[in-house]
């Protein structure tokens, strides 16, 4: 029986694509102010492509930007700028607060996110998500990153539950779904920002409404 639900943050609890879009738009307007708005938009879209849902380092994105558009760009300055200012651009997934409130009536809740501890916690706190869950873990605090099963086991310990009593909801198959399965958790693939296709018997959802319905109302799915 599932007694706890553990969430990824970026792209699951947060609308990461829209957050990144607005952040990159701000950066391009500053870096390339002489470009007309449509050219700027095209470059923003390239940045989002290079960014790959946040799975690629910002060093790579800004280095590509330097090579293609701005030879004198100081890459490290903009990498630091991202870490400092991206928390201000966080946007919650639609319906997330209602869903978390509802689920918390029945389950222990937690967040497990890859990344630098300080910047990730700032992002989580910016949306007040830490007030809705029982535990928040960022992998940078432990030097162990998803999909390593050990970080899932640490999260389970923090929640006071064995792994087999926890469902893990995340948007990235390699980091979230594979890691959760290795740890013995019940994986749920959250595919709001991208389409998910797999032959494996893994539940796929695309909205917080579906998450809520699955765990509170859908008694036909034996979790």
User: What is the domain extent for residue 56?
Assistant: 16-89
- Look at residue 223 and tell me if it is in a domain: no
Residue 152: inside a domain: yes
pLDDT tens digits, 55-92: 899 999 999 999 999 999 999 999 999 999 999 999 99
Q: Which domain-ending residue is among 62, 89, 116?
A: 89
Residues 143 and 200 in one domain: yes
Residue at which a domain ends, from 59, 89, 119: 89
Q: Which two tokens stand for residue 53?
A: 């849902």
> Is residue 219's pLDDT more than 80?
no
- Verify that 81 and 119 share a domain, yes or no: no
Q: Are residues 109 and 163 in the same domain?
A: yes
Q: What percent of the chain has pLDDT over 90?
A: 84
The pLDDT, as a whole number, for residue 200 is 86
Query: Which band of pLDDT confidence, cut at 50, 70 and 90, is reported for residue 202?
Result: confident
Claim to verify: residue 198 and residue 119 sit in the same structural domain: yes
Grouping H, G, I as helix, E, B as strand and the rest as coil, residue 119 is helix
21 and 113 together in one domain: no
pLDDT value at residue 53: 87
Q: Residue 140: which of 120, 163, 110 has the closest Cα?
A: 120
Backbone angles phi, psi at 106, to 5 degrees: -120, -20
Look at the chain and report how many structural domains it folds into: 2
Same domain, 109 and 189: yes
Do 79 and 132 lie in one domain? The reply is: no
Residue 121: phi and psi, rounded to 5, are -65, -35
Tokens of 99: 């869903």
Query: Last residue of a domain, which of 60, 89, 118?
Result: 89
């Amino acid at each position: 029986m599932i007694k706890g639900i553990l969430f990824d943050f970026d792209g699951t609890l947060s609308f990461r694509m829209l957050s990144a879009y607005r952040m990159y738009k701000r950066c391009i307007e500053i870096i390339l102010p002489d470009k007309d708005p449509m050219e700027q938009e095209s470059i923003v879209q390239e940045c989002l492509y290079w960014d790959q849902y946040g799975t690629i380092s910002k060093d790579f994105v800004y280095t590509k930007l330097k090579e293609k558009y701005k030879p004198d760009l100081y890459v490290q300055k903009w990498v630091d700028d991202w870490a400092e200012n991206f928390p201000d651009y966080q946007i919650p997934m639609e319906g997330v607060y209602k869903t978390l409130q509802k689920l918390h009536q029945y389950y222990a809740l937690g967040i497990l996110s890859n990344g630098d501890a300080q910047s990730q916690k700032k992002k989580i706190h910016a949306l007040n998500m830490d007030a809705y869950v029982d535990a928040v873990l960022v992998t940078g605090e432990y030097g162990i990153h998803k999909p390593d099963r050990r970080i899932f086991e640490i999260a389970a310990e923090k929640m006071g539950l064995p792994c087999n009593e926890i469902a893990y909801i995340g948007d990235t198959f390699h980091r979230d779904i594979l890691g959760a399965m290795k740890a013995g958790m019940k994986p749920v693939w959250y595919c709001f920002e991208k389409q998910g296709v797999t032959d494996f018997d893994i539940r796929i959802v695309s909205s917080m409404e579906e998450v809520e319905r699955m765990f509170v109302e859908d008694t036909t799915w034996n979790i």
